[in-house]
Structure 1
């Protein structure tokens, strides 16, 4: 679906780019192609040329017969004004239309014919037939015929080559192009009087150029333009020309009527009309799509700038607040209650007066033999003055995870064995046997520093705080992929958490490091198991109760991130899909009052815009920018991209400084835009499609959650344990 959508988007954008490549009387590059001499019978003949059996014949309009011809339309602003002038004076004209404009304005094309005027071809994109390859010339004329068939059900026999003028000005190359058109059955129309109104010399000069020779009563083909810029002077000049010459017996009619030729238009078959309608519909869709993409590009840029500025402002506020309330190491810091905020709710089972209450650390583990020993050892090697018990819940591991923990033989480490049932069930099993009222939940591949537990638990001294998010650090950051994830954790995650902390709407306490009150977990029914992002689901539920969830940036946990793009895709696919499930599950908070409503209205719209909608449309926006670089003007897209990366780099440097990290990894940030960012966007696209189609994750056994829809029944092959992939 994604590839098909990208292909359709590319085709439509290219079609619109092709259609708008050169419209109007734009300057063209001079070239000197040779096409042989121009026959003298043509250069000295009339402006209407037909080629029959290779022999050119020219014709002129009769005396006192004026064929007003208009190039480059139809235009939604100026063509109707020209038509109004002609209708008001009972005159008619010939409109040499650009096929792409016909496709964009089919109703206006039909009006031209309905009011007794006639239509000729002016190519599909206003291409210079004298310089383009022969195949391109044929394509230009053929597409224009198809556009006319789709818009008005007709073909035309008339053609005027863009950039042509009088017969005596034909070059050899232009004559060769005219010959090819004549051989294809077209009547080539030049002009007697080129008003050069596209230069906008003033209405009076346009009238003077059009009336040149009228004293002798000669007829003429007059060249004007109804598109390609401001044509107010042309509209005024047309009215003056008609008003001056009609009283003198001049008639203003179509070119074929003036010459006594058959009508220029021929009705087409139903099949040709259907093919033409397809082109018209595609062109209109392409035009609409391009306009939409331009708007999305602008909106995305504005939202990105606003988000970046907002994150930096809130990070600054958060830093000042933390520094203002900081206490010496080992002491608790109590949050100052803002003016007007109600007192903290009384919670059953509140922390005892002990400044360092007992802590139970729960480690759910499935096949973690490679790192469980280091994780448990780091939890025990702590400077926390109180009692710390470690509970490892072996969730049906098939490797030596349980044996390694047992072999450690440490009294403060308790091993709980259970059949594989997923991470939420493992956490709830550990909570059930934990002896402390302060619970720290840790992933089995995470390593704590000596002061992590002390710093992580400290904010719970405030009775209004129900949970604390620690600061997750990437341990395997040596390679490029590791550096990209390190940058994302520091910039994308931790800056957001600082803002969430200030706004009191934290959506996620990461599974790698988080501290909770037992009473807060009991209030929300424990760790939920009906979404794939149990940490986000749990955190949102706690926030809706009115308890605060805060961010403690000094509580560090080191975790091992995916080492390959395939592993990263699987991890982020589950995160993204699970986050959307949690958002949908807690959607009622948007309309509720109190703490739940405050959380919902502050957090869910932000997540929807910046974690779902913008990433969902980002691949299309990137494709739009790429096509602009390749086929249009590369300056604007490249400049925008440079400013984007520079701003992100500056924000990244600030975020790394706040976390006490060196800024050296930022050299990989520009490369991140071409691989890593695209991967994250495609993960969102796949997650949204999965949710909308009611499908299940193919790489992961999933229980029926009912969060979005009934995900169906049946069994799938699992490549990992429930809830651990």
Structure 2
């Protein structure tokens, strides 16, 4: 019912074969009865004009036509389109209440002669159900859209007439076409309506499908002329002596009512989704403009800072010496034997003085033994019973010797200059924590490329925005630097949520600390290599983030740094990372629906425009991160698989949170693919099975 732009002018296409049309039809009367296989036709009696209207009801013109009919005390037959009848049920009931009769004109004004059998059945039954659901009566007259006189019946139309006859319908054609659909002028319509002689006729006019002002004016004048000439104007049923409408059965009424309300509900849903689709598009565009605009501002500030050589994060902070004090690097590890050697060796090779504390959190795969066997200077191993990542981090904090602490996951490797770059924003005494730039190490294959794009385009662009807006919600577990006194002020790392890094960052913001992003501090992490592993990781991340947002919801009404987190950061997360993903699958389904039932060109153009925005934003993000653009060829495919998976993760997380189900920790499988070759770019073979550090 929504696949058409609307009921248009009822022009008749010609040129089709009529070889199968019986002579009794092509030369017979306009009312055709083909029930039971036999063909009978009938015409109105002499000096009787059966007045018919097609393509309505129309909210503008049908009432005017009914007023004219009432003025002249004339009844007519209205062949209504089911979809229009459902849109204007009051007009349908008024037609019947005024003594007129209804006929079926299909559900969506489709050409029955060219439609397949299933479509014919749906169109006729749907229109009948609409009439029954609105009036409680069933119609027995039917007029195929785009039909005309008997001699214009084609093979396709005749086949449709036979099919509807088997359902009990009489087909009503016309003998005089007013051609009001051409809008030739009032006088021309009056001339077209003038009968020659006394023979009975079926007059064809339209109360819908376009501007019918000429129809209304011509009808008023013509009815006066018919009365003056002694013609009897009436409905088709009255003209041929049949009762064309009957009371519907109880079952038919129930079915018709359900059909009408079902169509109304679906129409409401389509309308609502259309508006929501527009809103989602606007929100998506706003997000793109926000992240790109803030990223550009962040980039300019970073370039000015580098040019000044001060290591500052803000130009309004006085220049200070670079941070050179030693740093404690804490590596929580649980069954990380596959990649722990690569992680520890990379940190030990740092150009900045570091103390490394590996906290073995009850591993069963010999993780601690692997680290001990390295024999590296400045590396300390703490063995403890399994208590979770927060407890491991807190144990490392207790053993730390320095005030500046870097936390890094056991599946992550650093470049030699990562630690030094990471801690430089601490020249600003207001900074309590710093997020580094996380890179996907195993970016080979389609899934790896998609995650690489997400890290660069999604995570890092957002972090630049959060940095400028001073509302950073997450310092990732893969790479983050903290002041020990800031951590002590919030009670260390909490185990209240499954996203301990987000929980900790939000706590620091609420305690008045600034959290910033250092793009030059790169860490290479091992991303999930299967969809199942990716689902588990993102499910935990999303669920934990929802927990943290709920825990720190009080920031929405606080002032200072906490208020910035609440009103800027939490609002951003709620709109763009919760609400938009919740609705996005419906938008995608509606896009498919639109390609089939609406205007495919418009829908396709909108999708391409959306994709173009995504590609431009991705290219800009890759440029900021000095990444090659080659992986972006997978971006269109990402929209069909990866993006849907992320949406479903959000949906499952929200449902789990609302249901109050406690989600257990999902540990990601390790593959031992960590490598950082010289130059800081990913290895050409990121699927290497042996941990290796070079450069």
> Using a 3 Å threshold, how does the CA distance of structure 1 residues 430 and 190 change in structure 2: closer, same or farther?
same
- Find the aligned partners of 1:648 and 1:170 in 2 and give their Cα distance: 53
- The aligned residue for residue 167 of structure 1 is 150
* 1:167-209 CA-partner distances (Å, limit 9, x unpaired): 3433354344334433432222112321122222233322332
- Find the aligned partners of 1:371 and 1:689 in 2 and give their Cα distance: 34
Deviates more, 1:194-203 or 1:365-374: 194-203
Deviates more, 1:481-490 or 1:198-207: 198-207
Aligned-partner SS, 2:522? strand
- The aligned residue for residue 711 of structure 1 is none
- Find the aligned partners of 2:316 and 2:217 in 1 and give their Cα distance: 72
CA contact (8 A) 1:371 1:444 kept: yes
> Using a 3 Å threshold, how does the CA distance of structure 1 residues 510 and 33 change in structure 2: closer, same or farther?
farther
Aligned-partner SS, 1:554? strand
Alignment of 1:396-415 (within 5 A): 396-410=362-376, 412-415=378-381
Q: In the alignment, does 2:39 pair up with 1:39? A: no
Aligned-partner SS, 1:582? helix
Q: In the alignment, does 2:273 pair up with 1:293? A: yes
- The aligned residue for residue 654 of structure 1 is 620
Residue 321 of structure 1 and its aligned partner are, at CA, apart by 0.8
- Find the aligned partners of 2:160 and 2:12 in 1 and give their Cα distance: 17
Q: Aligned residue pairs: how many?
A: 669
- Find the aligned partners of 1:499 and 1:388 in 2 and give their Cα distance: 30
> Using a 3 Å threshold, how does the CA distance of structure 1 residues 525 and 205 change in structure 2: closer, same or farther?
farther
- Find the aligned partners of 2:77 and 2:576 in 1 and give their Cα distance: 53
> Using a 3 Å threshold, how does the CA distance of structure 1 residues 412 and 306 change in structure 2: closer, same or farther?
same
- Find the aligned partners of 2:591 and 2:340 in 1 and give their Cα distance: 47
Residue 319 of structure 1 and its aligned partner are, at CA, apart by 0.9
> Using a 3 Å threshold, how does the CA distance of structure 1 residues 211 and 539 change in structure 2: closer, same or farther?
farther
Alignment of 1:448-467 (within 5 A): 448-467=414-433
* 1:563-593 CA-partner distances (Å, limit 9, x unpaired): 1111111111111222222222223333333
- Find the aligned partners of 1:565 and 1:357 in 2 and give their Cα distance: 42
Alignment of 1:426-465 (within 5 A): 426-465=392-431
CA contact (8 A) 2:11 2:146 kept: no
- The aligned residue for residue 371 of structure 1 is 339
Residue 368 of structure 1 and its aligned partner are, at CA, apart by 0.5
Q: In the alignment, does 2:193 pair up with 1:210? A: yes
Counterpart pick for 1:108 among 80, 91, 96: 91
* 1:239-288 CA-partner distances (Å, limit 9, x unpaired): 343455456665554322343322x2212222222222222222222222
- Find the aligned partners of 1:552 and 1:395 in 2 and give their Cα distance: 29
CA contact (8 A) 2:301 2:314 kept: no
- Find the aligned partners of 2:621 and 2:46 in 1 and give their Cα distance: 81
- Find the aligned partners of 2:285 and 2:369 in 1 and give their Cα distance: 52
Counterpart pick for 2:262 among 254, 266, 282: 282
> Using a 3 Å threshold, how does the CA distance of structure 1 residues 71 and 470 change in structure 2: closer, same or farther?
same
> Using a 3 Å threshold, how does the CA distance of structure 1 residues 513 and 719 change in structure 2: closer, same or farther?
closer
- The aligned residue for residue 317 of structure 1 is 297
- The aligned residue for residue 529 of structure 1 is 495
Aligned-partner SS, 1:67? strand
- The aligned residue for residue 680 of structure 2 is none
Q: In the alignment, does 2:65 pair up with 1:92? A: no
- The aligned residue for residue 551 of structure 2 is 585
Aligned-partner SS, 1:289? helix
- Find the aligned partners of 1:589 and 1:243 in 2 and give their Cα distance: 77
* 1:505-547 CA-partner distances (Å, limit 9, x unpaired): 1111111001112232233332222222121222222223332
- The aligned residue for residue 498 of structure 1 is 464
- The aligned residue for residue 73 of structure 1 is 56
Counterpart pick for 1:137 among 106, 120, 126: 120
CA contact (8 A) 2:48 2:233 kept: yes
Residue 433 of structure 1 and its aligned partner are, at CA, apart by 2.8
What stretches of structure 1 of length at least 5 have no aligned partner? 1-14, 344-350, 703-717
> Using a 3 Å threshold, how does the CA distance of structure 1 residues 609 and 26 change in structure 2: closer, same or farther?
farther
- Find the aligned partners of 2:27 and 2:580 in 1 and give their Cα distance: 63
- The aligned residue for residue 12 of structure 1 is none
Residue 719 of structure 1 and its aligned partner are, at CA, apart by 9.6
- Find the aligned partners of 1:568 and 1:72 in 2 and give their Cα distance: 55
- The aligned residue for residue 335 of structure 1 is 314
- Find the aligned partners of 1:538 and 1:203 in 2 and give their Cα distance: 79
Aligned-partner SS, 1:505? coil
Aligned-partner SS, 1:695? coil
- Find the aligned partners of 1:322 and 1:637 in 2 and give their Cα distance: 40
* 1:127-146 CA-partner distances (Å, limit 9, x unpaired): 32333344543443223222
- Find the aligned partners of 1:248 and 1:26 in 2 and give their Cα distance: 29
Aligned-partner SS, 1:326? helix
> Using a 3 Å threshold, how does the CA distance of structure 1 residues 197 and 492 change in structure 2: closer, same or farther?
same
- Find the aligned partners of 2:12 and 2:158 in 1 and give their Cα distance: 18
Alignment of 1:226-245 (within 5 A): 226-245=207-226
- Find the aligned partners of 1:93 and 1:242 in 2 and give their Cα distance: 12
Q: Compute the TM-score of the two structures, normalised by the length of structure 1.
A: 0.85
CA contact (8 A) 1:544 1:595 kept: yes
- The aligned residue for residue 359 of structure 1 is 327
CA contact (8 A) 1:104 1:280 kept: no
Deviates more, 1:580-589 or 1:532-541: 580-589
CA contact (8 A) 1:533 1:575 kept: yes
Aligned-partner SS, 1:473? strand
Deviates more, 1:659-668 or 1:229-238: 229-238
- The aligned residue for residue 655 of structure 2 is 689
Residue 427 of structure 1 and its aligned partner are, at CA, apart by 1.6
CA contact (8 A) 1:35 1:175 kept: no
Residue 316 of structure 1 and its aligned partner are, at CA, apart by 1.2
CA contact (8 A) 1:31 1:131 kept: no
Q: Compute the TM-score of the two structures, normalised by the length of structure 2.
A: 0.88
- Find the aligned partners of 2:82 and 2:313 in 1 and give their Cα distance: 72
> Using a 3 Å threshold, how does the CA distance of structure 1 residues 39 and 535 change in structure 2: closer, same or farther?
same
> Using a 3 Å threshold, how does the CA distance of structure 1 residues 526 and 599 change in structure 2: closer, same or farther?
same
Alignment of 1:266-277 (within 5 A): 266-277=246-257
CA contact (8 A) 1:70 1:226 kept: yes
What stretches of structure 2 of length at least 5 have no aligned partner? 671-695
Residue 121 of structure 1 and its aligned partner are, at CA, apart by 0.7
Counterpart pick for 1:668 among 626, 634, 649: 634
> Using a 3 Å threshold, how does the CA distance of structure 1 residues 681 and 35 change in structure 2: closer, same or farther?
farther
- The aligned residue for residue 712 of structure 1 is none
